[in-house]
Structure 1
Amino acid sequence: MTPIQVVGVGLDGAAGLAPMVLSIIQQAQILAGSDRLLQQFPDHPAQRWTLKDLPQRLQQHVAQPDPALVVVLTSGDPLFFGLGRQLLQVIAPEWLTFHPHVSSVQLAFSRAKLPWQDATVVSAHGRSLDRLAAAVKKGISPIAVLTDPENTPTAIARWLQSLGLPTHYRLWVCENLGGADEQVRQFALSEVPSGVWSGLNVVILQRCDAPPELSRIPLLGIPDAVFLSFRDRPGLMTKRAVRVQILAELALQPHQVIWDIGAGTGSVSVEIARLVPTGQVWAIECTTAGAELIRQNAARFQTPNLQVITGSAPTVLTDLPAPDRIFIGGSHGQLTAILTHCCGQLRDAGVIVIAFATLENQAELAQWQRDHPDWTVTYQQLALTRSVAVGSFTRWDPLNPVILATLQRSAGGQ
């Protein structure tokens, strides 16, 4: 038997340990651990060591000839955000044996009755929420979060709401797992209460796609989180603030025909279809997955005047009715060809709005304009910054800049 036996203990104490592990504890000549865990064995005759400088003390202990048996009591699984990592930093593995208890995360998923083979675990215990931010912005699910007195369930819920995510999450708070006062509760993010939480808690975040209450959706500026989005790229959509500016530049009127080229998730198309219910909206998307997502969003927002065309522009534009307005959100390297085709189809007094994020696309448009002097182009750059919660404070979080170009025929142009 190795001289250091590291035993994981749950909130049920000695009663939750296997007979073999209890036998090892009974043989211990030294018991080490927190006061709470040492109190689980009040009648044990062994010498007792506290956690203060324990790794260094054990390092000195195993350097002695024939060291006495030490049992280190720790919470849950010692190699899961536990004491085990600290011990392995100063003590050779051959001196250590680990006896893990069920971890708090495993218990949390069990109590919430959620499979967790694909779960992401994030520790917010004494750490920033940067890793959690990266996970939720990708729409990862489920996520287990180990909290601390600052990053409480309430603070995490408020922070998630401040991010303006394109993904909905529901939240479980699992407190005192394995103990007599265990409590597991599920909340919508907006319903997580304030107040005092047990210091021993785990938060689980699970992605959910709740259907929108259309009566509560604003006529202009649908929140990003209400749209269905790509599972692997939930942030890939035209953001609400940018979308509203695009709609303003299009200067929509009743009964118009509108093309949305490179429609992505269909967020712009849906907004247009709701604003102009008497119009015809054609969403053109080159990917089958994207086209299906647009159809789902069209059904979700009850916009029967939105039609989806699968294929690459400008080839698939040939048989569409002549447009009054065109929005180009994606061109897949065909911006010049798309513009040339669109300008030949656009009705009098028509407007084209283009959104792009690269200097190369801006340069391509500038070259196209030089070749087509009968068109005017006005530019604006949208550099938006949103507030996000950081604990009890608030900071600015910038979005990637977006360039909008608005094209119209010059006065007297053909």
Structure 2
Amino acid sequence: MIHVVGIGLNGAEGLTSSTLELIAQAKILAGGDRHLSYFPQYGKKSLVIKDFSADLKKIKQFHQTLKSHETIVVLASGDPLYFGLGRLLLEKFSPEQLKFHPHLSSIQLAFNRLKMPWQDATIISAHGRSNELLIQALQKGAKKLAILTDGQNHPGAIANLCLSLGLTTTYQAWVCENLAATNEQIQAFDLPSLASLTATDFSPLNVVVLVKQKPENPLIDLDQLPILGIADHHFASFDDRPGMITKQPIRVQILAALSLQPRQIIWDIGAGTGSVAIEGARLCPQGKVFAIEKTSAGQRLIEQNCQRFQLQNVEVVAGSAPEVLANLPTPNRVFIGGNGGQLTSILQTCGERLAINGLVVMAIASLEHLSLALGWFKQQQWQVKVQQVQISQSVKFAELTRFDPLNPIYLLTAGRNSMGNDDLG
């Protein structure tokens, strides 16, 4: 039998008497340098695991020479079957040859030190792994995250990653070091104010915990905002879908295609969080923007964002297009960001209501909707221009930088009359 024993930073003191007896009777005691340092008296009976592949082969060879009453004990950190050595051992030995004796994992210890329930936490190991899963969890706005780190994906690197992603979600961060050891330390940091975290040195044995903070609705310092291209994190967004916002680089392209002019009437159909409506209203303070949104959650977010940006020229229109469009003023510009499966009907209404020399701009994600829109505009003999917008943004990983692509869109701009529509090119 091979006994796989989990051990913490408090060493032998954290083990039960029965587990210590197993170790005392072991023919071979294997583990990392740190694990074996808790049992210096075993000397030549010890096998230091440094090269997993080669050293597990040695264990297998020793196992084949054991007598029926002899055992091997392998020491591992925390719970061996939780991002631990247990998985590799199961690849080399049958389950019948192994018996596991788990210790408290660092994740358990971290949440218990923070006195925080963790059944709803997302656990990610960045130890020797890609940070793709971490990026996905952050972009989805995971409620709680516990991250196992390493020398490259250390707390400062994770902080830099959060900054580079431009998250709309705000997190509180804790770095839990040397859990259960005499030099245990837990430090709290506020995100996205990460300067102190990125500049701090930590013990290599640490766990990072991120907890999403309740959204606030503060007023924005308007003097600090750019004229065009407001950062995504300034907008209130959906709690469960923080990435469901027209991203800043795409939004800038949409606003450029709309070619806004003073005192215009603008329809934003399928407004979502209202990011396009908000920026359009700021660019045209003497105009009026009608943000059409069918979901109550979206309507509340648009109202919150209007309060944040202190705007009076955005009106939230609750309901589905095209039905709610009938009583709105004649638009000079129409942006269609969502259509609820009613694209043809919406285009028909826009065609009937659009002012002379008006423009319709669409952000389209699918080929099917692009084909449908192009077919409709061709039938109506409108002038059309289509751009494929594919933008990648730099993202930090460890000490390096790579590009992370946003979902590509087709940006369609259409006008009924060729005269006066120089914006179509």
Corresponding residue to 1:109 among 96, 108, 111: 111
CA contact (8 A) 1:30 1:68 kept: no
Distance 1:396 1:31, change over 3 A: closer
Structure 1 residue ranges, 4+ long, deviating more than 4 angstroms after superposition: 43-46, 210-213
Distance 1:412 1:292, change over 3 A: same
Identical-pair percentage: 50
2:361 maps to amino acid? V
Report SS of the residue matched to 2:198.
coil
Query: What is aligned with 1:24?
Result: 22
Larger deviation, residues 228-237 vs 309-318: 228-237
In the TM superposition, 1:185-334 aligns within 5 A as 185-187=187-189, 188-189=191-192, 190-191=194-195, 192-194=197-199, 196-208=201-213, 209=215, 211=217, 214-215=220-221, 216-334=224-342
| Distance in 2, Cα, partners of 1:234 & 1:387 | 19
| Distance in 2, Cα, partners of 1:13 & 1:32 | 15
Report SS of the residue matched to 2:203.
coil
Q: How many residues align?
A: 410
1:88-123 CA distances to partner (integer Å, 9 max, x unpaired)?
Answer: 222222332222111111112223333211222222
Q: Is the aligned partner of 1:56 residue 2:62?
A: no
Report SS of the residue matched to 1:247.
helix
| Distance in 2, Cα, partners of 1:83 & 1:210 | 43
What displacement does 1:211 show?
4.6
| Distance in 1, Cα, partners of 2:88 & 2:187 | 33
Query: What is aligned with 1:34?
Result: 32
| Distance in 2, Cα, partners of 1:33 & 1:126 | 19
Larger deviation, residues 185-194 vs 71-80: 185-194
Query: What is aligned with 1:138?
Result: 140
What displacement does 1:75 show?
1.6
Query: What is aligned with 1:389?
Result: 396
| Distance in 1, Cα, partners of 2:166 & 2:17 | 51
2:143 maps to amino acid? S
Larger deviation, residues 26-35 vs 234-243: 26-35
TM-score, L = length of structure 2: 0.87
CA contact (8 A) 2:29 2:46 kept: yes
1:268-316 CA distances to partner (integer Å, 9 max, x unpaired)?
Answer: 1122233334433221123333333333333343334322223221111
2:414 maps to amino acid? L
1:403 maps to amino acid? Y
Distance 1:95 1:315, change over 3 A: same
| Distance in 1, Cα, partners of 2:217 & 2:188 | 19
Q: 5+ residue gaps in structure 2?
A: 421-425
What displacement does 1:44 show?
5.9
1:124-147 CA distances to partner (integer Å, 9 max, x unpaired)?
Answer: 222211222222222223222211
What displacement does 1:411 show?
5.5
Query: What is aligned with 1:149?
Result: 151
Q: Is the aligned partner of 1:75 residue 2:73?
A: no
Query: What is aligned with 1:182?
Result: 184
CA contact (8 A) 1:261 1:327 kept: yes
| Distance in 2, Cα, partners of 1:339 & 1:278 | 26
1:196-242 CA distances to partner (integer Å, 9 max, x unpaired)?
Answer: 43111112223334555611333421211222333443322211112
Alpha-carbon RMSD across the aligned residues, in angstroms, is 2.6
| Distance in 1, Cα, partners of 2:209 & 2:5 | 26
1:137-163 CA distances to partner (integer Å, 9 max, x unpaired)?
Answer: 222232222111112211222123222
1:338-360 CA distances to partner (integer Å, 9 max, x unpaired)?
Answer: 12212322334433222212233
Q: Is the aligned partner of 1:5 residue 2:3?
A: yes
| Distance in 1, Cα, partners of 2:15 & 2:277 | 59
| Distance in 2, Cα, partners of 1:98 & 1:121 | 21
1:72 maps to amino acid? V
Report SS of the residue matched to 1:338.
helix
What displacement does 1:78 show?
1.2
1:35 maps to amino acid? D
| Distance in 2, Cα, partners of 1:97 & 1:226 | 53
1:326 maps to amino acid? V
CA contact (8 A) 2:219 2:307 kept: no
Q: 5+ residue gaps in structure 1?
A: none
| Distance in 1, Cα, partners of 2:128 & 2:78 | 19
Larger deviation, residues 351-360 vs 208-217: 208-217
